[in-house]
Structure 1
Amino acid sequence: MLAPICTLLVISTTLMITRLYSRLRPVVNLGWDDAIGVVAAIASILQIAFLFAAIPHGLGRHIFYVAPEDGLLTAKLIFISQFPWGWAVSCAKISIALLLLRFKRTKSWRIFLYLMIALQVVLATIANIFQLAQCKPIAAQWDPTIPGAQCWDPVFAQKGVYVQGSLSVFSDVVLSIIPITFLKELQRPMREKIVLGFLMGLGVFTASAVIVKMTVVGNFNDTTDPMWDVIELATWSMVEAQMGIIAMCVPTLKAPMESILRRVGLLTKRTNTHSGYINAGSGRERSQAYHMNNVSAFNNSSRTEAQKTNFSPAASESSILPQDNKVQGGY
């Protein structure tokens, strides 16, 4: 568990820091998608911290070798870790939806993405409520020896996980496919479109992690060795959160990703400056971006310059997503 999760954590954290850096230089271009992305990253780190804290107390060991007091503490830490996990997964999807709102402002587009955002908030909230309501008192979830404790039938709880997982898979697939549809606007070779489509569709891998996790849940209810068997479920939950953050960050990192892909030969050197990419640091995008600060006066002047040169020389090329020239406002 440690090696793959630590690797994904390093990758996702590096991408998140790079994303924020690209939005701060050479001009500040932070939006709500970045803020929610930070929340997702922090929540995922909290989940990992709680689970890793449980390892010295028996997580990943056979129950026979775990002392009763360590078993209770491990179960409690696993229970607590599920709260930040739900928000890490949902906030990553919300960040993607807010990013997509930067590029189109049609009514149907806004309604659809706002519904996706609302769905993620509902899923995370219900997941937390669901977790708290499974046992009375709540402590019975990690200490089943409490006298008079009442808990839901495990089969009912399992069905709830399936419903939540199915909606999560749906959201991952939809939010992965939408950016790929923008590739038709790119004036680039087909090979490059395929590579960029793969990068922007990383959310599909998040959906795959959810599907695997749901199959694991189906077998977990019958376990007689929970400290050992839960490790697979916990690992896939962490993979889901980390892959969501990676999928959230990659589409915003145009310049770094292009540099890496050119070095490995997957992209050719661009000679046509009007490639159809959106420059997320330019005035064309900032004029309708979800900003946390007021830069409207700067936008008006920089948009005029951008219309003359297609790209601002000092702008930060931070988005892979292409420009939709057919939408009012230059999107």
Structure 2
Amino acid sequence: MANYTSEASESPDESRRRAENYAPHLNATVWFLTAISAIFLGLRVFVKVWRKRRVRCDDCILVLGWIALAVSTAMITLCTTFGLGRHGRYIRPEDLSNLLMTSYFAGFASTLAVIWSKTSFAVTLLNISEGTTRKVVWFVLISANVVLGLNATLQFVQCWPPSRAWHPGAPGKCWLGIERVRAYNIFVAAYSGATDIVLALLPWKIIGHMKIRKKEKYGALFAMSMGVFAGITSFLKITSLGAIGNVDLITMVNLFIFGTAEGATTIIAASVPILRALLHRQEAPP
């Protein structure tokens, strides 16, 4: 709710809090992350076309992941026009519902970006794995989609009618309390990070036994292990999940930054191995 106290009668500390606005910082950060991931994805597709390689299922899924990330970033920018980046008490009441509704859609799109980019890398691994390793990849792929997919869905079914979530005073009921929602999001972030690390380590088993030059082998392993950074980003996101249910909406800034970083890092991590493989092979099967 907005504070209508006269600005002339405010204390210096109150005036400072009223003037705080992290919207420019938020917009610059999320668009930078989205642009960097777009560059890596664009290079991946360009190099494939340049080397006359087929665009496969994993490429298409990754493109969908980036589109979801871009939609999320655009929705975050829309949120800033409703006051996101400022302390909650200084956001106009007529803007609050629009901000909350837009933030739910931004979070939904952000989760889709993570799901699809993670799926893309898993599909890539399925193309080069076999036996037990292939079963592990399938388990990670299916379980990550279920866990993250449920998290995305819960944003719109935790209250009935769904609009009750962004109209706190409207008639309706929320069957999940804030503490449960926050706890599940912590679990999701931890599980997502763990799956990133598992997918990043599996290439050591797949490529480790191949009879290729050590320099080429370690270069490929390093490139395919970039997912570790996506996992670290997901774990760091846990520190910002206290924003869920927090009445001071300025805390959502870090949550959106880490959410965008998670999707962008996963897209980059999924693009680097393909870029390296294509640029370091003079001849490769179509």
Do they fold alike, i.e. is TM over 0.5? yes
Residue 77 of structure 1 aligns with which residue?
A: 102
Judging changes above 3 Å, is the alpha-carbon distance between structure 1 residues 220 and 27 closer, same or farther for their aligned structure 2 residues?
A: closer
Structure 2 residue aligned with 1:58: 83
Counterpart Cα distance in 2 of 1:148 and 1:163: 27
State the alpha-carbon separation in 1 of the partners of residues 238 and 174 from structure 2. Answer: 25
Alignment of 1:168-317 (within 5 A): 168-181=192-205, 182=207, 185=210, 186-189=212-215, 193=218, 197-217=221-241, 219-221=242-244, 223-226=246-249, 228-254=250-276, 279=281, 282-283=284-285, 286=286
TM-score, normalised with respect to structure 2 = 0.82
Aligned-residue offset at 1:198: 4.2
* TM-align CA RMSD: 2.4
The answer to which of 36-45 and 247-256 deviates more is 247-256
Once the two structures are TM-superposed, the CA of residue 256 in structure 1 deviates from its matched residue by: 8.1
Query: What runs of 5+ residues in structure 1 fail to find an aligned partner?
Result: 259-278, 287-331
Change (3 A) 1:255 1:197: closer
Which of 9, 13, 28 lines up with 1:3 in the alignment? 28
Q: Give the percent of matched residue pairs that are identical in Structure 1 and Structure 2.
A: 24
| 1:33-182 mapped onto 2 (5 Å cutoff) | 33-104=58-129, 106-181=130-205, 182=207
- In 2, distance between residues paired with 1:280 and 1:174? 30
In 2: Cα distance, 1:212 partner to 1:144 partner: 29
> Are the equivalent residues in 1 in contact too, given 2:31–2:73 (CA < 8 A)?
no
Where does 1:11-50 land on structure 2 (aligned, <5 Å)?
A: 11-50=36-75
Counterpart Cα distance in 2 of 1:156 and 1:118: 24
Residues 189-246 of structure 1, C-alpha deviations (whole Å, 9 max, x = no match): 49x93x65444322222122221221221x33573312x1111111111111110101
Measured in 1, the distance between the counterparts of 2:265 and 2:62 equals 13
Structure 2 counterpart of 1:245, one-letter code: I
Name the CA distance, whole Å, in 2 between partners of 1:110 and 1:46.
32
Shift of 1:248: 0.7
2: CA distance between counterparts of 1:39 and 1:238?
Answer: 15
Q: Deviations over 1:93-117 (max 9, x none)?
A: 111111112223x233332222222
Distance of 1:177 and 1:76 partners within structure 2: 38
Using the alignment, how far apart are the partners of 2:201 and 2:175 within structure 1?
40
Partner of 1:311: none
| Alignment deviations for residues 269-314 of structure 1 (CA, whole Å, 9 cap, x no partner) | xxxxxxxxxx49722xx4xxxxxxxxxxxxxxxxxxxxxxxxxxxx
Structure 2 counterpart of 1:12, one-letter code: S
1:26–1:173 Cα change, 3 Å:
closer
TM-score (norm: length of structure 1): 0.71
Larger proportion of helix? 2
User: For the residues of structure 1 that align with 2:66 and 2:282, how far apart are their CA atoms?
Assistant: 21
User: 1:70 and 1:281 mapped to 2: Cα distance?
Assistant: 57
Relative to structure 1, the CA distance from residue 26 to residue 206 in structure 2 (aligned partners, 3 Å threshold; closer, same or farther) is closer
Q: Distance in 1 between matches of 2:272 and 2:233?
A: 18
What's the counterpart of residue 21 of structure 2?
A: none
CA contact (8 A) 1:29 1:281 kept: no
Change (3 A) 1:141 1:169: same
* CA–CA distance in structure 2, aligned partners of residues 280 and 111 of structure 1: 31
